[in-house]
Structure 1
Amino acid sequence: MPITHNKELAAPPHYPVLDGLRGVAAIIVVTFHLTEPLGTGHLDILVNHGYLAVDFFFLLSGFVIGYAYDDRWYKMSVSGFLKRRIARLQPMVVLGVTLGAIGFYFTDSTIWPLIHTVPVWKMLLVLLIGYTILPVPLSLDIRGWQEMHPLNSVGWSLFFEYIANLLYALWIRKFSNTALCILVGLSAIALAHLAITNGDVSGGWTLNVEQVRIGLTRTMFPFSAGLLLSRVAKPTGRIRNAFFWCSLLLAILLYMPRLGGAAHLWLNGLYESVCILLLFPLIVYLGASSAEQTHRESSLCRFLGDLSYPLYLVHYPLVYFYVAWISNHPGTTLAQAWPYALLILLGGIVLAYAALKWYDEPVRKWLRRKLV
């Protein structure tokens, strides 16, 4: 549906299937994090490509932001756009980091033996920096995983989301479609090179040159490609059961076992390149081309879309307890771990829904009044 110039900055209609797909991807991220500690390394994780959901999020973000804001700049300033993004993203960032801080000293584990030696002032300093979504240096890595957000691991992707939003507001929004195509092409080459030479695109959560390069590479192609797709795609509105088929395809891609093994890392990198460069944009296009949904489908997509961002931000503080339990019980199998994993998944969903209704929505409403 094209966006027309209106006198007011009312949000345009959105694509409900894309909301639902964001929720599906968020649930897959949780299952990835729950199976990750059961593997012996990055080659044998059960949900081996679950981290690609982050790249899918970046693509969705570029598409939705381009669709929602590209034609509104005649009535909107850069500061106005950034205030809208802060009001949308920051409340859950604050809650997610707070939950991580509350649980920090309670995650006794053989892999975090020094947690209880971290002075409270240092943890509080990391907490306050985390509220800003700015990364912390390795000297403040109080957990020992070399993370830029050690109280809530997933914060790294929000840091790069903010970078993409800032670049869009200051620079990329002004690109012609030709210039945007060039950016998409160059960033596609960079991403394929990263994936094929490294064997995957995993990374981006440490504040050093190499990891920041990985994070920027993972962000720039999907975000700019989503933006380009929002400008040039002509969704048909004719695909029936689009949510089911797109969810199935996304799940197959993210649950695919790792390819090539240690001997042929490039093969897995090629697979991930095809997923991010070709198949994820196809899924977004198909989702945007959905025919009119039934009331049940629409309600499901709305629920999953509303749940997705809170779930992504609150689940990892719970996962820290699960990882600690796994590390304290060496040799734990999937058969032994799945009840605890299911409890974390369901608990994360309940916590996310409570956070959405009792915290995120009211705070966002208040921020929009104050900032926007």
Structure 2
Amino acid sequence: MRFTALDSIRGVCAILVCLFHLPVVFFLSDSAFILHSYLFVDFFFVLSGFVICHAYGDGLNLRSVGPFLLRRFGRLWPLHAAILCFLVLLQLGVWVLYQYGLSVGQAPFEGRWDTTALVLDLFFLNSFGLWPDVTWNGPAWSISAELWTYLLFAAVAVFALRRMVWVAIFMSLAALVALAVFSAGTMDVTHDFGVVRCIAGFFAGVCTYRVWQRYFMERSLWPGAEWAATAGAIAFVILAGETVLALGAPFVFSLVVLAFAAEGGTLSRLLSAAPFKAAGRWSYSIYMVHSTIIFMFFNVARLADAKGIAPLIVMVDGERKVDFSLVDASWANDVTMVTYVAVIIAVAAITFRFIEVPARTWFNALARAWSESQQRDAGPGAGISRPAQPLPPVVRAGQ
């Protein structure tokens, strides 16, 4: 089953996260909605739990766990590794600039660009607080968190399938309590408590799927449910911000997923339009490439500022941002924002076509061969309860 509307929403949320990170003073940059759009990462986690449960919640056992995890690794790691390779090349470029006395801020291969941090990123260990800040490709903390959460889900699906809902409720609530106690009551955690944040959202998504499966799979929700869920989510993001209220994100986004899973409303029909569907397909790439594009753009602006070509850098709430109004070109801020989104989408379309799709195909074939080998070794009548199948297109990593 294809959850087209949810897939499209994921694309929209990915773009909103991109705008949240954009260090440019554009016309919406100081709005509460954009300033708090980091919360849409929690939508990714909830949606991931929902769809993973849909695809695998009734079909994992000890034999099928390996192929399942291989598929998930193959969905996340290839693009992640490709971006890290590109960032290493960029750091080599920064090193060359340093040899000519051109500074772009931090020295090459230091701080977040340290080679030890690179190893942590490569092995998905960048969401356990092993480094004092986000490393290399900043958004990758969330896919690290997701991979380890997949492992936890597999354990639940194998050993506690009949009690999955109760275990999922416990894990989600326990994770939220841990965040309330150990992260100063905020949802804005990444490299330090990223896995805990992911567990809270992912297992809320698992519960949401079970509710949908039992009560709403064969029926439509109230016709206005999509509008109400959308309005509620927008209001929540604006009001919750970085307060303790943000801990309610898994519950709010669970309602959004529940409302759009049936795809029976006018918003679902709108989200089935080609541009939204494309954003959904490319959403993982959109999310993963945007930080690299920001790094390249911002350091060009930093060089221009440092060399006196144009004053572009301004401090806003303790953060450096680019503001073209410093050179009487405030219109350029908004043009930059639009261009930034367009470039991200274009690059994401390329990485999806030439990295994500081939890698996913290869890993899926590898996982299928592994499953078939296990069935042959087990002998007739001892196959896996439900053969692992390619995941529906809304499965993300992340997220």
TM-score band, normalised by shorter chain: 0.7 to 0.9
- Structure-2 residue corresponding to 1:30: 18
**For 2:49 and 2:109, how far apart are their aligned partners in 1?**
42
Choose from 307, 313, 336 the match for 1:330.
Answer: 313
The sequence identity of aligned pairs, in percent, is: 23
1:58 offset after TM fit, Å? 0.8
Choose from 363, 371, 379 the match for 1:367.
Answer: 363
1:353 offset after TM fit, Å? 0.4
**For 1:215 and 1:103, how far apart are their aligned partners in 2?**
26
The 1:116–1:281 alpha-carbon spacing in structure 2 relative to 1, beyond 3 Å, is closer
Pairing 1:69–2:69 present:
no
Choose from 267, 276, 281 the match for 1:306.
Answer: 281
**For 1:130 and 1:190, how far apart are their aligned partners in 2?**
23
Pairing 1:200–2:186 present:
yes
1:156 offset after TM fit, Å? 0.7
Counterpart code for 1:215: G
Measured against aligned partners, the alpha-carbon deviations of 1:114-172 in whole angstroms (never above 9, x if no partner) come to: 423759xx866655653333339999x7xxxx435x22111111111011001111235
Q: How does 1:175-194 map to 2 (within 5 A)?
A: 175-176=160-161, 178=163, 180-181=165-166, 183-185=168-170, 187-188=172-173, 190-191=175-176, 194=179
Pairing 1:21–2:12 present:
no
**For 1:44 and 1:95, how far apart are their aligned partners in 2?**
34
SS in structure 1 of the partner of residue 138 of structure 2: coil
TM-score by structure 1 length? 0.74
Measured against aligned partners, the alpha-carbon deviations of 1:55-92 in whole angstroms (never above 9, x if no partner) come to: 11111111100011012226951101111112222222
1:232 offset after TM fit, Å? 2.5
- Structure-2 residue corresponding to 1:8: none
- Structure-1 residue corresponding to 2:140: 155
**For 1:289 and 1:296, how far apart are their aligned partners in 2?**
13
Counterpart code for 1:97: L
- Structure-2 residue corresponding to 1:130: 121
Counterpart code for 2:313: P
1:31 offset after TM fit, Å? 0.5
- Structure-2 residue corresponding to 1:86: 73
**For 1:137 and 1:287, how far apart are their aligned partners in 2?**
33
- Structure-2 residue corresponding to 1:319: 294
- Structure-2 residue corresponding to 1:280: 253
1:29 offset after TM fit, Å? 0.6
- Structure-2 residue corresponding to 1:339: 335
- Structure-1 residue corresponding to 2:344: 348
Counterpart code for 1:274: G
**For 2:223 and 2:255, how far apart are their aligned partners in 1?**
16
**For 2:129 and 2:228, how far apart are their aligned partners in 1?**
43
Structure 2: which 5+ runs fail to align?
Answer: 306-311, 315-321, 325-329, 369-399
**For 1:162 and 1:356, how far apart are their aligned partners in 2?**
19
Contact between 1:38 and 1:333, CA under 8 Å: does it hold in 2?
A: yes
**For 2:25 and 2:10, how far apart are their aligned partners in 1?**
26
- Structure-1 residue corresponding to 2:387: none
Bigger Cα displacement from structure 2, 103-112 vs 74-83: 103-112
Tell me how large the CA RMSD over aligned residues is.
3.8
**For 1:202 and 1:155, how far apart are their aligned partners in 2?**
15
Choose from 204, 212, 217 the match for 1:225.
Answer: 204
Contact between 1:310 and 1:355, CA under 8 Å: does it hold in 2?
A: yes
Higher relative contact order (CA 8 A, sep 6+): 2
Number of residue pairs the alignment of both structures matches: 331
Contact between 1:62 and 1:227, CA under 8 Å: does it hold in 2?
A: yes
